[in-house]
Structure 1
């Protein structure tokens, strides 16, 4: 439904503002963010739309096309909501952070939310909701800031209010996304750039719906191993500020001191950071063959060095290697299950995807969910 009509169906009036923000795919740079490295993401052509208006009282009311529950709060008592209303915490958290940033508020607001992102596909609907909510609230309350600050406000809302310790990738890509571009983020300096993406590139997402039973503890373990690797390498080079600052050569020279596990984690992070640099060169020259090779190389590193892949993801990537219209593929996101992203030409179509899904289904007890998208624009005010 049109976001204006959605709002009218809930509140019987036209909204003051309508905004949109895209979902995203992690393009390359796996687990480099919290290690101070480089990462690339692409905004997709689907996302979250928000419509909002100020109220005359202090009430806050949020409704969503996809949710039966009505989330309610008040400007004088902002706190996280529970159970079936917890979806609203992303917008409430942004509201809370905007007030901390100096936004003047004298009355509440009502908001409607709609989405055309596939559920559970790892395309960061939360960041899209944060960015679209931020722009909507900024518009009705007269608050302006930079694109980078919108991303930071969204990240702080997720960290501080929702309680999810995410990095800046999701919000940065949703904020800075642009059609036919990749967003490149230096996570240590927290700077954002765009790199041209050849027109006509397609993205296919194969969501396995597999999630390792110990995924949270595995994330924590990888984080700890990376920290240990950094501390060891810092003894060899006191100038290091983060693990991603280390060179692959320094890692090799300290292989024995690192030990097998920390050595593999350090190799992945340093080589993956280098892959982001090489990807920037490949994309700037339109060399999709080289870009694809880097994507396959990234997955191989995740599989064998960072060990955050799984048989389901590996099978999909291996099958995609044999298709001429596929430039490259890799797991996207945290791993230990989840989804594979394939970068393809227009010749790759539903028939290829379904054939792969059938082969996957013969090996495992289910088929992956398939989603096709292209690059899209970042967070924006529509009307």
Structure 2
């Protein structure tokens, strides 16, 4: 892809570009904990976005998307978001750089990627790749964490997506064969070795996305915030559910109404599962890690209620199959992918059986996406 982007750039703009790369990400465990300042456990993957960039002597910036096969031109001194357009990610990052006081000149940019499914954060990868490219082109020496915050704010303001910090953070800070134990309160992380020996991580893309995802997300978030308000009467120092120890669940159950407690329970136990997962991976205990994936899925499905029949089917079928140590839904919910930890010796049989069963049950042909933990954003050429 690097060579394709460079050649496309040369053909379009007549010069050789700087090429930057930023990866997509997976989240090993820790769903719906970030907006309660909890812990998450993401990692960068090999698939990602490539950006070619070079200065031009024109009076405007020229952009090209290889995926859309479309050009876009904007004035670097006067621009605004264009609803739903892919150019918003570049304009958003330019806007963030300018607001931070960096003086940018006109440039040409082309990009493309190979992130195959929703839930792997192609938008964050694109923003981080653009930021990495701009930093290199104009020799700005911007710290990674600042780049992450620019990418997050760019998505908020120009793409209209209220994303958390995890996606751009994992894309920027990823390390090969490491997961990031990311603290969403302090925006700091620890690198945790995650080498799966004779096992592999495999995503199964259900190819479904139910329409209630956005409204349900907002309702879950509101439920968590209301739970905090009620809990604070007994825990006055609690800022978020992150501050409630898992050993106090029974006490919390007495405080909260029946409709709120399961949602709070998920967040409190999921944060604890992230801690446990990082510890068992340090000790290379893959069976224990797989069991935590299973627990996470049950909690997301039964307590937080963000799964769906297709994801439940994929996870529950996987639990019964030989060589599968664990499986859970990954991401916001109501569709997307499951993440599975599978013995290499059983990979082919697993894919064949799950494909057949899922197609028979739902008339959908699932996709399989192997993922490996990889390096974060960088300049390639």
Q: Trace 1:1-383 onto structure 2 (pairs within 5 A).
A: 1=1, 2=3, 3-15=5-17, 17-82=18-83, 86-105=85-104, 107-118=105-116, 120-200=117-197, 201-383=199-381
Cα displacement string for residues 32-77 of structure 1 (whole angstroms, at most 9, x for unaligned residues) = 0001100011211110000100111331111121112212111111
Give the TM-score of the pair, scaled to structure 2. Answer: 0.96
Alignment CA distance shift 1:254-1:351 (3 Å): closer
Q: Is the 8 A contact 1:8 1:14 kept in 2?
A: yes
Q: Is the 8 A contact 1:251 1:266 kept in 2?
A: no
The alignment's C-alpha RMSD in Å is 1.4
- SS of 1:213 mapped into structure 2: coil
Structure 2 gap segments, 5+ residues each: none
The answer to which of 340-349 and 325-334 deviates more is: 340-349
Q: CA deviation at 1:368?
A: 1.7
Distance 1:325 1:6 in 2: 43
Distance 2:176 2:322 in 1: 25
Q: Is the 8 A contact 1:103 1:141 kept in 2?
A: no
Q: CA deviation at 1:142?
A: 1.9
Cα displacement string for residues 77-97 of structure 1 (whole angstroms, at most 9, x for unaligned residues) = 1211245xx112112111111
Q: CA deviation at 1:112?
A: 0.8
Distance 2:345 2:118 in 1: 23
Q: CA deviation at 1:263?
A: 0.6
Q: CA deviation at 1:199?
A: 4.8
Distance 1:233 1:247 in 2: 12
Structure 1 gap segments, 5+ residues each: none
Distance 1:32 1:255 in 2: 19
Give the TM-score of the pair, scaled to structure 1. Answer: 0.95
